[in-house]
Chains A and B, each alone.
Chain A
Amino acid sequence: MSNDVTQTADKTPAEGPETTTGARIYRPLTDIVETEDGVTLMLEMPGVAAEDVDVTLEQRVLTIRGKVRPTQPEKLQLAYAEYGEGDYERAFTLSDDFDPDKIDASVANGVLTVTLPRAAEAKPKKIAVKAS
């Protein structure tokens, strides 16, 4: 191995309060796409299983938490580390036209997809113009 420091896509630790255990909390990288039906968020949370994700919406703040399951190969010692492991946390303030009961979340290959359908009354209604 060379002694050069390899620059990798480093994970960003979340700003804010510290944890009691001293473990790091990371801010998951997020893609947000808006369509006519609503908004979709895609958050990178490698190492987090579906049952360890917590999505809450309280007073327009969508909070996403993911508890990581650390990778520890048996009988091996960490010799070289480019990335750290830790829980994920990130919050977004939403405009209030989302239906909180219809929020859908799924995890696939370490990516959490949260779908927020727009509330029915907030959808722009199209008014047909009749020719007379």
Chain B
Amino acid sequence: MLYPYYTRRSDPFALMQSMLRDFDRVAPRRAQPVFPAVNVWQGDEAVAITAELPGIDPADIEISVKNNELTLAGERKAPEVPEGARWHRNERGYGKFTRTVRLPFAASDDKVEARMANGVLRIVVGRPEEDKPKKIEIKAA
């Protein structure tokens, strides 16, 4: 690989970046990253988990709750292509996935609500009454 010194002389990091890119291309792939990435939201009344699941039919996603563990499972199906089609790029990943998230409290099934919009899944888990902090009133002596 040649690195001409005159490429984008104004940007001193250009050469370094281009070398890093070449290295990424040659280096063996790292261990399979965890899918899907999740964001966890917390509040007094509930906890929400959001995940980006592009290209997955909501019917193909299984969500289950057991005690304080929430499990997301499903499959990313490869697109159906006609025979003789040529792949130019394949950056997206496919296959089965499962991910378990530990909740800060034990959830009951009837307090879990899941919605999917534009490939973003949102699961809201309500906090059970017995887990909520109790307010103790102070009596006048």
Contact = CB atoms under 8 A, between A and B. Distances in A.
A9 B118 contact: no
Interface stretch (A17-25, A34-42, A56-64, A122-130): A34-42
B119 A110 contact: yes
Contact of B40 (A42, A79, A107, A109): A79
Given A30-B92, A36-B84, A109-B118, A73 B34 contact: no
B39 A109 contact: no
Given A46-B54, A73-B122, A7 B34 contact: yes
Q: Which of B46, B91, B102, B116 has the most CB of A within 10 A?
A: B91
A7 B29 CA distance: 13
Contacts of A111: 54-55, 119
Size bin of chain B's contact surface: 35 or more
Size bin of chain A's contact surface: 35 or more
Interface string B73-96: 000000101101111111111000
B79 A82 contact: no
Q: Which of B40, B50, B84, B90 has the most CB of A within 10 A?
A: B50
Given A44-B54, A46-B118, A73-B48, A9 B42 contact: no
Contact of B41 (A49, A69, A73): A73
A80 B48 CA distance: 11
Nearest to A34: B86
B54 A8 contact: no
A48 B88 contact: no
B110 to A, nearest CB: 19
B56 interface: yes
A79 B91 contact: no
Nearest to A35: B85
**What are the nearest 5 A-B pairs in CB distance?**
A110-B119, A110-B54, A8-B37, A46-B119, A46-B52
6 contacts: A1-B102, A8-B36, A79-B41, A81-B39, A110-B120, A111-B119
Interface of B: 30-31, 33-48, 50, 52-58, 79, 81-82, 84-93, 102, 116, 118-120, 122, 124
Interface of A: 1, 6-10, 29-36, 39-40, 42, 44-49, 69, 71, 73, 75-83, 107-111
Given A75-B43, A79-B41, A82-B38, 14 more contacts: A1-B102, A10-B33, A29-B91, A39-B88, A44-B119, A46-B53, A46-B118, A71-B39, A73-B122, A73-B124, A78-B39, A107-B118, A109-B55, A110-B52
